[in-house]
Structures are given as C-alpha cells and as structure tokens.
Amino acid sequence: MAKNNLRVSMEVGNDGVAVIKILNPPVNALAPPILAGLKEKYAEAMRRNDVKAIVLTGEGGRFSGGFDISVFGLVHQTGDLSKLPDVSVELVCNTIEDAKKPSVAAIEGLALGGGLELTMGCHARIATPKVQLGLPELTLGVIPGFGGTQRLPRLVGTPKAIEMMLTSKFIMSEEGNKLGLIDAIVSKEGLLTVARRWALDIAERRKPWISSLQRTDKLGSLSESRKVIQAAREQAKRTAPNMPQHQACLDAVEEGIVFGGYSGVLKEVKLFNELVLSDTSRGLVHFFFAQRAISKVPNVTDIGLRPRPIKKVAVIGGGLMGSGIATALILSNVSVVLKEINPEYLQKGIKTVEGNLRSLVARGKLTEDKAKKALSILTGVLDYSEFKHVDMVIEAVIESIPLKQSIFNELEKVCSPNCILASNTSTIDLNVIGEKTSSQDRIIGAHFFSPAHVMPLLEIVRTDETSAQVILDLMTVGKAIKKVCVVVGNCTGFAVNRTFFPYTQGAHILANLGVDVFKIDRLISSFGMPMGPFQLQDLAGYGVAMAVGKEFSTAFPDRTFKSPLVELLLKDGRNGKNNGKGYYKYEKGSKPKPDLTVLPIIKESIKLTNLMPGGKPLSLSDQEIVEMIMFPVVNEACRVLDEGVVVRASDLDVASIHGMSFPSYRGGLVFWADTVGAKHIYSSLKKWSEMYGNFFRPSKFLEDRAMKGIPLSAPASTSQAAKSRL
C-alpha cells in the first residue's frame, strides 16, 4: 500500500460545512496516521466557529476498506496490542457520535469493516448507487471493533445484522437504503451537495439528530433477540466449529442488547483484543495478504507487459472437465467454442454445460436470464474450422500423451500464431505435450480443479519456455472468470496434487497399521478438512485413485506407498460414491454412513502389507494420527518449495486452501507447518521413517530448516533460488 500520500484533509465551505476526507489509496484503509488525522481534523472542526456541521468522505471514489489490516500483522509479530489505536470509544463514540456538531457520511464505492463503522458513528449516511457495505471482520478472525456489533443491529435490526456479520457478505446501498442503514441514495455528482445540506439540516434541527448507539426501535424485544442469537449460535457451531470469532461476535451483540449499546461497545473492544492475538486471526490475516501476493509474479507482472484481450476460447473435450471449464468461461462472458469428436459426445458436453447452469439457477446463484445469455455464447463444433478466430485454446481431453501431442500438433496449424495453447492436464509434463510443435513459448498449463465452474483454484503451469505475455494473459482470463490463479512450475502433479499425494497414502499406511479408517476421517474433519481422506477417495472414485497412484509411484518411487486396499475394494464391486458403495454407504437423501462390511477387506489388506509391528494394531493418540497424515504432506511441500515450483511459500498456502480446502483459519499448509515448528515435524518424520519406511523420510529442505531453526516459509537462499522452476 502506498504510504507516502496518505492523509486526512479538511475544507470548510462558506455554508459552514467542513468536508473531512480520507486519502490512503487504493482503498483508504484506516491506518493509524489516518485515524490520528481524523481526530485532529475533528478537533479543529469543533474548535472553529465557522464550522456548523461535518461531512465525512473518502477520496478516489471509495469511502474506506476498513482498518489497516497490516497493523494486525504487526500485532501478530510483536504481540503488542498497543499498536491498535483506541478508535471505538475515543474516535467513534466521543469524537464523532457525541460531538456537538453533527456528521454526515458521504459514501462512494465501498464502506467495509471499520469504514462502515465510521459511517455508523455519523448522524446520517448518504450513498451513491451500488456501494458495497459490509462488516467482513470475521474473515480476518476478529469481530467488528469500532462499534459495528452494536450500531449495525440498531440500524438494520438484529437478524439482518447478525447475518451480515456472520457471513461477512456485503450488501449494496440500495438494500442498505431499504433496511435503514443508508438515509438516501444520490448520484455521484450530487453526493457532496446533498450530504452538506443534510448535515446543515441536522445542525439546524430540520432533520433529526440521531445517534445510532442510542437507538432501540429496531432491536425488537429481549426475548425475540435472544431467540435470534441462540439460533445463530447453533448454526455457527455447525458451520464454523473451529472459529471463536463467531460466538464472540454474538456475545458482543447480546451484551449490547441486554445491557445497552455502550456496554456492548466496551465488551466488543475486550473481545476484539483477545481475538486479534488468536491463531485463527494470525492464519486468516496471513491468508488475506497471501491471496493478494499471488498476483505478483516476478518477471511477468512487473515488466510493463499489458494483457491482451481474450474474448473467444476454444475448449477441446466436452467431458466433465471440459464442460466445467466452458461453463466457467461463458458465465463470465467469454465466448466458447466447444469441440468434440462426434455429435453424440458434443451433445453430451453441451447438455452437461446446460445442467451446470441449471443447477446454479436452482441454487439461486444465477438468474434464468444470465443462464440464457451464457448459453447463447457457447458454440459446439466437430472440427477445427472455427479455431482460427479464437484467442486461446484449452485442451481438456483424457490423459493420453500421444493424443495430446497430436492435438497440439494440429493446433499449431489451425490457430493464429498468437493464440495461446493451454492444456488442462493434471499430470503430464507440458514439455512432452508440446514436444512435436515449435510453439513452446505459447504452451501453458491451465489446471482447473473439478468441478471447474465451482472450484476456485486455477493452477497456471509454466515451462521454461512459456513467455511472460502468455502467463500474464492466462492470469488475466483466470481473474476475469473469478478464479484464484497461482502460477507454478512444471513437475509431476504441479504444486497442489504433488504436495497432497502423500495425504491419501499416509491415511492408507495408517489403515494398514490397523488404525480405524472412520476414526481417521473424523479426526481429519475436526482438523478442518471438509472430509477425511477415505471419504474423499470415495467421492473421487477409485479409478482416479489408481491412475494418480500410478503416476506418483513412477515419478517418486522412493517414497510412494503402494496400498493394495483400493484394488481390493474394486474387486469387491465397490467404486465409492459412484456406485453408492465404498468405505461409506451412500443413499439418496441421507449423509454417507460408515459401511462396516468394508472392515474384512481392510483386514485382508493389512494381511497383505504385513506392516503392523508384531501383528498388532498400532495404538496412536488422536494428535499422532493427524500428524502422520499431515506431516508427509508438509514434507512434500518442502520439496516443492526447494525446487522453486511456487514463487513464494504463501502461494502454496493459497493453493492448498483453494485447491484442497485446507482450513483457511490455519493460514494454509506451510503457515500451519510453521506454527507447529519444523523441528517437531522433522523429528517425528525421522522417527516414523525408521519405524515404517521411506514414505516418511524427511526431505533435505525440512532437515536443513529444522536444524538451522529457519521457518519453512522463509524465502529460499540464493543457492536454492538458482534451482527455481519459475
């Protein structure tokens, strides 16, 4: 964030209105100097006799994106809470709300978090159309801390306020106006004029002088409010079991309703200060900045290149992946030519796209109109004649090297020389795919995760030859279709699948050591993964497990564990969720239930592998079970970092969260590993490798860092950087 031009200005007009303006591009974050500046300007406005009222606004078309999140980072590093200025009582209550001159907020663009909280301390709020209003603090592991938990319920009612805070979703100014959060919506041109007049009207008592904190008219009765809060508590227990900020937010709301707004404000500050220091906040704040860092790719985004427009994309293959990719593109207004090899497959592909859109409409995520519009820019084709007009091709056919090579060979002939040639392969080396072409500079991996129109991650895989322009173009398309794009180097499994291949294998080792598979799944779910490794395998289907297992055992034979279990399950007629029979039973309309008839099959596998020391099942603590599954994943992440497959460790954090649903409140895989400590991970893996074999053998990178006490996330040394694949 640019710090040099950060300031608060004040201009007093002939009408007696002081316009106080926040300037801290790009989002007018409320950094400590801005908050100090606000206090200073307010003091001046109170002193000056020529000031009757105040308009508070933001420069550059945005009111404010809230408190400066980098200050949380500083608090996390130092543990020093004094870095958090007293804003809630000092500035919002005493300086703005209880002032002897009224304030009106003039809001453009967005008012989020502390930004919205400042406006709620004002005596009225005027906004332009389509302003984003919200309190997303829970996504940072804290609660609103400038009085938001008190004033929002008083302005929009308790149920809506709780919904807005617990989901962290913003509303638009139009809805805010209906709810009573916004007093009037006016055009951009009229904003300051109306706000000034409104402020004077309050000062001269033509309009009511309302302090939000004193209001009670929207709170409803105590018993009603308690019911709403209790229901929210129950829901949060289910949806956010490991996140303390949800219950804390409800505690603050409840305090204010029971004991009054000011008590609520004091409770809120207390809870806020406790939460800022929590591991959850540390993880989520790290994740916030990590997500923003991925868009900065050295020698790609910092060399003055401009993205070329990508308006039309050809997708080859209408299977699950191809049709998902096509859906993602047309949903964001990118025209798609979907190619298949015969009318039957083509029809099936188009039907899948239609089905994807229908299910989004059914879930209220898309309107009928938008679905129709999206379909209107999809064309099905059986040959390459349309390809000369496309800006990019994404190949999404089965994982066959000769097939992919022949397709890329053909593409080179039929596409324009500037067309980007992308493959959605999840395993095959891109250099091999492009081997028979002379277009290596425009060949790139576009690795979507299934279902491609739902999963947020797009791994952009570059080779040594891929040009910076092509990488930038794919990053731009990815962003346009609302994907989180992480640029990675070329290796088996790329960053995510490579890092996580030991996840299932570790689980299989434990199963073969006699640990209950359902217990493993339960513990891994409580760790924060959406489901355990066995349920995940059921979901993906055993065919995938076999294919992926083969790929990794070829690439990394020294450390793959070959479990006979999947083959035995297949032999028993099980194929996971696909046929309703796996480790779990799948019946329509009910949750998967552990299928105890799988136990003899696991026993057979145990017999074949003969891993159990003395033939007895291993007795492990819950923590050891989680660690024996997650530490090998960290170990592989270390190799990925060592080989420079990602630009920075935090990219792997983002990729693990968006690609594998690793819990965001743990900050991502590497961040979490550093909270556990390299030393403990290393010594545990070393011990297990001696007991159970090479699968657990710690990598050199992990060993080095553990010995030297360097965090795994620390940037690579010069010698390591030299090996980078990026």
Ligand X SMILES: C[C@H](O)CC(=O)SCCNC(=O)CCNC(=O)[C@H](O)C(C)(C)COP(=O)(O)OP(=O)(O)OC[C@H]1O[C@@H](n2cnc3c(N)ncnc32)[C@H](O)[C@@H]1OP(=O)(O)O
Question: Footprint of ligand X on this chain (CB under 6 A)?
Answer: 1, 26-27, 29, 65-70, 110, 112-114, 117, 136-137, 140, 144-146, 148, 292
Q: Which lies closer to ligand X via its Cβ, residue 71 or residue 357?
A: 71
Least Å from the CB of residue 363 to ligand X: 24
Query: Which tokens is 381 given?
Result: 């084709």
Q: How far is CA 416 from the centre of its chain?
A: 35
Q: How far is CA 25 from the centre of its chain?
A: 23
Q: Which helix (H) or strand (E) holds 688?
A: helix 678-692
Q: Which lies closer to ligand X via its Cβ, residue 484 or residue 601?
A: 484
Give the ranges where 123-157 is alpha helix by DSSP (H). Answer: 148-156
Q: Which lies closer to ligand X via its Cβ, residue 118 or residue 314?
A: 118
Helix, strand, coil in percent for the chain, rounding step 5: 55, 10, 35
- State the Cα–Cα distance between residues 648 and 609, nearest whole angstrom: 38
- Please pick, among 117, 459, 627, 636, the residue that the annotation labels catalytic: 117
Least Å from the CB of residue 1 to ligand X: 5
- State the Cα–Cα distance between residues 690 and 572, nearest whole angstrom: 34
Say what the alpha-carbon torsion angle 492, 497, 498, 502 is, to the nearest 10 degrees.
-130
Is the Cβ–Cβ distance between 340 and 318 less than 8 Å?
yes
Residues 519-534, buried b or exposed e (16+ Cβ, 10 A)? ebbbbbeebbbebbbb
Is the Cβ–Cβ distance between 233 and 254 less than 8 Å?
no
Query: Which tokens is 701 given?
Result: 């990178």
- Number of neighbours of residue 610 by Cβ within 10 angstroms: 8
Q: Which helix (H) or strand (E) holds 233?
A: helix 222-239
- State the Cα–Cα distance between residues 411 and 317, nearest whole angstrom: 14
Least Å from the CB of residue 279 to ligand X: 18
Q: Does the active-site annotation cover 117?
A: yes
Q: Is the dihedral of CA 241, 242, 245, 251 positive or negative?
A: positive
Q: Is the dihedral of CA 92, 93, 94, 99 positive or negative?
A: positive
Nearest of 470, 412, 463 to residue 442 by alpha carbon: 470
Is the Cβ–Cβ distance between 256 and 271 less than 8 Å?
no
Q: Which lies closer to ligand X via its Cβ, residue 249 or residue 461?
A: 249
Q: Which lies closer to ligand X via its Cβ, residue 269 or residue 461?
A: 269
Nearest of 455, 449, 452, 397 to residue 423 by alpha carbon: 397
Q: Does the active-site annotation cover 354?
A: no
Q: What are phi and psi of 130, to 5 degrees?
A: 60, 35
Least Å from the CB of residue 43 to ligand X: 21
Q: Which lies closer to ligand X via its Cβ, residue 146 or residue 534?
A: 146
Q: Which lies closer to ligand X via its Cβ, residue 112 or residue 326?
A: 112
Tell me the sheet residues that pair with 64.
111
Amino acid at 94: N
Q: Which lies closer to ligand X via its Cβ, residue 112 or residue 124?
A: 112
Q: How far is CA 100 from the centre of its chain?
A: 44
Query: Which tokens is 571 given?
Result: 């032999």
Q: Which lies closer to ligand X via its Cβ, residue 292 or residue 373?
A: 292
Report the residue closest to ligand X, judged by CB: 113
Q: Which lies closer to ligand X via its Cβ, residue 63 or residue 500?
A: 63
Least Å from the CB of residue 69 to ligand X: 4
Is the Cβ–Cβ distance between 136 and 113 less than 8 Å?
yes
Query: Which tokens is 387 given?
Result: 């390809």
Q: Which lies closer to ligand X via its Cβ, residue 3 or residue 358?
A: 3
Nearest of 710, 688, 709 to residue 697 by alpha carbon: 688
Question: Coil, helix or strand for 124?
Answer: strand
Least Å from the CB of residue 148 to ligand X: 6
Least Å from the CB of residue 58 to ligand X: 11
- 551-556: list long-range contacts, CB under 8 Å, 24+ apart: 551/427, 551/492, 551/493, 552/492, 552/493, 552/501, 555/492, 555/493, 556/492, 556/501
Is the Cβ–Cβ distance between 156 and 181 less than 8 Å?
yes
Least Å from the CB of residue 90 to ligand X: 13
- State the Cα–Cα distance between residues 525 and 594, nearest whole angstrom: 14
Q: Which lies closer to ligand X via its Cβ, residue 287 or residue 662?
A: 287
Question: Coil, helix or strand for 218?
Answer: coil
Least Å from the CB of residue 126 to ligand X: 20
- Please pick, among 59, 97, 108, 137, the residue that the annotation labels catalytic: 137
Least Å from the CB of residue 659 to ligand X: 20
- State the Cα–Cα distance between residues 158 and 161, nearest whole angstrom: 5
Q: Which helix (H) or strand (E) holds 524?
A: helix 517-527
Least Å from the CB of residue 535 to ligand X: 33
Least Å from the CB of residue 76 to ligand X: 14
What amino acid positions are annotated as catalytic residues? 117, 137
